[in-house]
Structure 1
């Protein structure tokens, strides 16, 4: 009888132990599941952060590429007049333009202006950069306007046989003199400048010549 009691106690002990192990298993599985979920969440957050950093870095690179990483080292010159020299520091090169003289005519080469008249500028262009540049590239984007908040008209020199058009390459240190011609409406003042869209983009410093009407008639 005692032997059966001992066997029964042993069986009861084993059953209780087994039940205890089974009750602990779900808790362990739940804990492991929570750790897995937390780990995946942290991993996702880390990946999102890395993507955000990569995106910011890419946007910064795009911005630098768009501007070319260029920053002009020459101050703006906004109050030049006839006889003054403007110094340009652009993302292409550096150069100077001197406005030697200016005049307005109603007719050039038997062509009568349909608006206020033709303004003819005598200018000298000097390549102060380190590479040879076509003078046409240096003059690209220049205009004459009657108001600084308005666009103007660009050079028509190639359309007039009597106008001394500037063409060809300028080596470093070389300069060439010639004429710039375009049409303008009648106004009290005229402005010769590099188009505002170019200077506003940071591709060049800003240089403006003011030409009073009374000095060109």
Structure 2
């Protein structure tokens, strides 16, 4: 009897142990699968948020890069002569230049031109804009050339003591007179204008003075 009872108890204990092990084996895979799903869902969420952020950033950069192209409201003046006034309308401001006179000379302050001659221009500069600018700002890019389709030479007045260059600030409505000097090759006529690198991009209207060599000697 005692042995029979012992056998029954042993069978019950073994059954309980096997049942617990079976439940543990089933539970562990389920927990692992749940953790994996949570990890995947978290990564997908992060990726979606990252993609949205990247798209938004790209749009912001495109909006920042957009700029309004400057459009001048002043007509081109292509046939000006000595004594004429030219009106400039640029992406910086507006101003006027009057070419009062032009003189071709071979030597300045005992210095000879590395080309053929110098040309000395007598000009009056007027600030017609709403802010104060330096004369250098307004004269930037102006040059004399013998050929409109070729690069010319800009102002060298600061290199010569005897040349009265245009310097200093010019307030709105104020005028300043002075001299513009540069080197030139031998030619029958010359052109005083803003270099094509500026007018060609639409940053200014085009203003051109034609200076016959015979009128400047």
Question: One fold, TM greater than 0.5?
Answer: yes
Tell whether the 8 Å contact from 1:74 to 1:87 is kept in structure 2 after alignment: no
RMSD of aligned Cα (Å): 4.0
Find the counterpart in structure 2 of residue 211 from structure 1: 210
Matches for 1:33-112 after TM superposition, within 5 Å: 33-51=36-54, 53-54=56-57, 57=60, 61=64, 63=65, 71-75=69-73, 77=76, 79-82=78-81, 83-91=84-92, 93-112=93-112
Tell whether the 8 Å contact from 2:86 to 2:207 is kept in structure 1 after alignment: no
Tell whether the 8 Å contact from 1:189 to 1:210 is kept in structure 2 after alignment: no
CA distance in 2, matches of 1:15, 1:122: 112
Moved more, 100-109 or 16-25: 16-25
Tell whether the 8 Å contact from 1:189 to 1:213 is kept in structure 2 after alignment: yes
Find the counterpart in structure 2 of residue 187 from structure 1: 187
Larger Cα Rg: Structure 1 or Structure 2? 2
Unaligned 5+ residue runs, structure 1?
A: none
Find the counterpart in structure 1 of residue 4 from structure 2: none
Tell whether the 8 Å contact from 1:95 to 1:126 is kept in structure 2 after alignment: yes
Tell me the SS of whatever aligns to 1:87: strand
- The 3 A distance-change label for structure 1 pair 212 and 135 is closer
CA distance in 1, matches of 2:48, 2:145: 56
- The 3 A distance-change label for structure 1 pair 70 and 179 is farther
- The 3 A distance-change label for structure 1 pair 74 and 80 is farther
CA distance in 2, matches of 1:51, 1:106: 64
Deviation for aligned residue 1:182: 0.5
CA distance in 1, matches of 2:63, 2:122: 43
Deviation for aligned residue 1:176: 2.3
How many aligned positions are there?
206
Unaligned 5+ residue runs, structure 2?
A: 1-7
- The 3 A distance-change label for structure 1 pair 50 and 215 is farther
- The 3 A distance-change label for structure 1 pair 48 and 142 is same
